């Protein structure tokens, strides 16, 4: 009896090993390093929701391999981002990492990915220089100069002769205000002062009072999206909108995730950005509907779209390499990639690995009882104007 069992056991084992190449499905792991706690947590929540939605709608099989997403919370601290990147690469053997809310978090992984030759797909961070810091960075989000130049042109064309800028004092803020100043002054305007508020302490009232006292025609603003609610409340409380100062900015300040919470005082406010939940395309309508269904109470913003498109870029790359997970081949496969996103068409510039896309000029309006950024003009297929 025992012997028969053993024999059966061996037969079973033999059958299993014969079937192994088919049965043992190879798994390809992708790391997603998001900021899920702390002041920037809204960013991670969107990114994870976007990436998961992409997988839910497109399945988890690519080129015959099963995709597994490993999510890590970096709490917004660069050392933790770097440690997660190292562990994902060394212990989990991921084929790629992705995520990165704040610019310093992306910069922290540059040496790690360069040494390991593993691609890192940037889903949010927007400082121009990032993609130059490693040949393994590929960006599907945006750059601040790419967004700031179109609004500088728009406000100059719409009668502003003087402006003040106020931004968060770190990479993307500096990029945003420098690009704004460059184009606004090229168009004959004058930037009276470039104000910078500390990133860690979202207390803007002294800076806003200074901006008000300078009596500019326009005030240009940038803060990372999760800080938009607190900035805009202070803009309203300080009476800048009533003071006849035309408040403009990149779309980070009227982020779709926060806009309803900011309230009707910002009706009519004009910003430039690559994504609006109100973007009028069949693909975006479906994306917004599915996103809301999967995440009750949430509305997608540009960070959610970054998560969604970042997964798409990885899927497409793995499809192109026919399942080969070599990091250098995956980056090569992403260069020059072009696809429709909920935002519109985007292309990964093969020379810079940075995103080229339409930038929309939008105005806050009420639609079906909710505030939206309604697109009314577009600058087609904009490259980062600084690091071309
Ligand atoms: C960055 C972060 C954001 O949340 C944002 O809206 C724009 C830029 C950044 O740190 O690069």
In this structure, the number of other CB atoms found within 10 A of the CB of residue 86 comes to: 14
Summarize pLDDT for 94-114 with one digit per residue, the tens. Answer: 999 999 999 999 999 999 999
pLDDT at 362: 98
Q: Is the CB of 116 under 6 A from ligand 1?
A: no
Q: Which residue's entry shows tokens 């500088």?
A: 152
Query: Which residue's alpha carbon is at the smallest distance from atom 3 of ligand 1?
Result: 224
Domains in the chain, start-ordered, CATH in brackets? 25-142+280-353 (3.40.50.2300), 145-273+360-382 (3.40.50.2300)
| Helices 327-334 + 302-320 axis angle, to 10 | 110
Q: Is the CB of 172 under 6 A from ligand 1?
A: yes
Q: Is the CB of 175 under 6 A from ligand 1?
A: no
User: Cα separation of 174 and 97, whole Å?
Assistant: 27
User: Cα separation of 66 and 63, whole Å?
Assistant: 8
User: Cα separation of 140 and 124, whole Å?
Assistant: 8
Q: Is the CB of 102 under 6 A from ligand 1?
A: yes
Token couple for 334 = 């992403």
* 23 and 277 Cβ atoms separated by less than 8 Å: no
Summarize pLDDT for 325-365 with one digit per residue, the tens. Answer: 999 999 999 999 999 999 999 999 999 999 999 999 999 99
For the chain, the helix, strand and coil percentages under 3-state DSSP, each to the nearest 5: 45, 25, 30
84 C-alpha to center of ligand 1: Å? 20
CA atoms in the 13 A half-sphere facing the CB of 116: 23
Q: Is the CB of 306 under 6 A from ligand 1?
A: no
Q: Best mutation site among 33, 46, 124 for ligand 1, i.e. most ligand atoms within 8 A of its Cβ?
A: 124
Q: Best mutation site among 102, 222, 302 for ligand 1, i.e. most ligand atoms within 8 A of its Cβ?
A: 102
Summarize pLDDT for 74-84 with one digit per residue, the tens. Answer: 999 999 999 99
Ligand 1 atom nearest the C-alpha of 227 is 4
pLDDT at 24: 60
174 C-alpha to center of ligand 1: Å? 12
pLDDT at 199: 94
* 343 and 251 Cβ atoms separated by less than 8 Å: no
* 65 and 95 Cβ atoms separated by less than 8 Å: no
Q: Is the CB of 81 under 6 A from ligand 1?
A: no
Ligand 1 atom nearest the C-alpha of 102 is 10
* 173 and 366 Cβ atoms separated by less than 8 Å: no
- CA distances (Å), 154 to each of 75, 173, 252, 311, 371, in order? 37, 19, 17, 33, 22
pLDDT at 25: 76
pLDDT at 23: 45
pLDDT at 308: 98
224 C-alpha to center of ligand 1: Å? 4
Per-residue pLDDT of the chain (388 residues; tens, 9 = 90+): 344 444 444 444 444 444 444 446 799 999 999 999 999 999 999 999 999 999 999 999 999 999 999 999 999 999 999 999 999 999 999 999 999 999 999 999 999 999 999 999 999 999 999 999 999 999 999 999 999 999 999 999 999 999 999 999 999 999 999 999 999 999 999 999 999 999 988 899 999 999 999 999 999 999 999 999 999 999 999 999 989 999 999 999 999 999 999 999 999 999 999 999 999 999 999 999 999 999 999 999 999 999 999 999 999 999 999 999 999 999 999 999 999 999 999 999 999 999 999 999 999 999 999 999 999 999 999 999 987 5
Token couple for 98 = 């992705």
| Nearest one of 118, 135, 39 to 84, comparing CA atoms | 118
Query: Which residue's alpha carbon is at the smallest distance from atom 11 of ligand 1?
Result: 125
Give the dihedral sign, CA 222/228/233/236: positive
Q: Is the CB of 125 under 6 A from ligand 1?
A: yes
Q: For the chain, how many residues are written?
A: 388
189 C-alpha to center of ligand 1: Å? 27
Q: Is the CB of 124 under 6 A from ligand 1?
A: yes
For every residue of 115-177, DSSP letters joined together read: HHT--EEESS---GGGGGS-TTEEESS--HHHHHHHHHHHHHHTT--EEEEEEESSHHHHHHH
pTM: 0.93
User: Cα separation of 166 and 307, whole Å?
Assistant: 28
Give the dihedral sign, CA 382/384/386/388: negative
- The backbone region for 131, taken as left when phi is positive above 0, alpha when psi lies in -120 to 50, beta otherwise, is alpha
Ligand 1 atom nearest the C-alpha of 226 is 4
24 C-alpha to center of ligand 1: Å? 41
């Amino acid at each position: 009896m025992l012997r028969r069992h053993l024999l059966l056991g061996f037969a079973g084992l033999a059958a299993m090993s014969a079937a192994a190449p088919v049965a043992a499905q190879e798994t390809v792991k992708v790391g997603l390093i998001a900021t899920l706690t702390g002041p920037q947590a809204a960013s991670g929540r969107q990114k994870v929701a976007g990436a998961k939605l992409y997988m839910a709608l497109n399945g988890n099989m690519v080129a015959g391999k099963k995709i597994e997403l490993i999510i890590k919370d970096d709490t917004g601290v660069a050392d933790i981002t770097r440690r997660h990147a190292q562990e994902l690469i060394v212990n989990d053997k991921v084929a790629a990492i992705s995520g990165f809310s704040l610019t310093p978090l992306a910069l922290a992984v540059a040496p790690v990915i360069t040494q390991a030759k593993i691609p890192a797909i940037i889903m949010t961070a927007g400082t121009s220089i990032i993609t130059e810091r490693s040949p393994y960075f590929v960006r599907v989000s945006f750059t601040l100069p790419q967004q700031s130049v179109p609004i500088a042109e728009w406000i100059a064309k719409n009668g502003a002769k003087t402006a003040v800028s106020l931004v968060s004092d770190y990479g993307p803020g500096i990029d945003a205000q420098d690009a704004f100043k460059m184009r606004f002054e090229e168009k004959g305007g004058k930037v009276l002062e470039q104000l910078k508020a500390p990133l860690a302490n979202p207390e803007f009232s002294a800076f806003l009072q200074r901006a008000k006292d300078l009596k500019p025609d326009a005030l240009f603003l940038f803060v990372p999206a999760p800080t938009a609610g607190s900035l805009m409340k202070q803009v309203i409380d300080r009476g800048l909108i009533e003071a006849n100062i035309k408040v403009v900015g990149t779309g980070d300040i009227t982020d779709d995730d926060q806009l309803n919470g900011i309230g009707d005082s910002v009706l009519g406010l004009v910003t430039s950005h690559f994504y609006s939940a109100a973007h009028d395309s069949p693909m975006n309508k479906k994306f917004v509907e599915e996103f809301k269904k999967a995440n009750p109470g949430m509305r997608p913003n540009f960070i959610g779209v970054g998560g969604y498109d970042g997964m798409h870029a990885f899927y497409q790359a793995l499809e192109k390499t026919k399942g080969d997970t070599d990091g250098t081949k995956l980056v090569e496969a992403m260069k020059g990639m072009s696809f429709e996103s909920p935002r519109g068409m985007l292309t990964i510039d093969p020379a810079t690995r940075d995103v080229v896309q339409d930038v929309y000029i939008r105005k806050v309006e009420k639609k079906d009882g909710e505030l939206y950024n309604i697109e009314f003009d577009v600058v087609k297929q904009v490259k980062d104007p600084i690091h071309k």
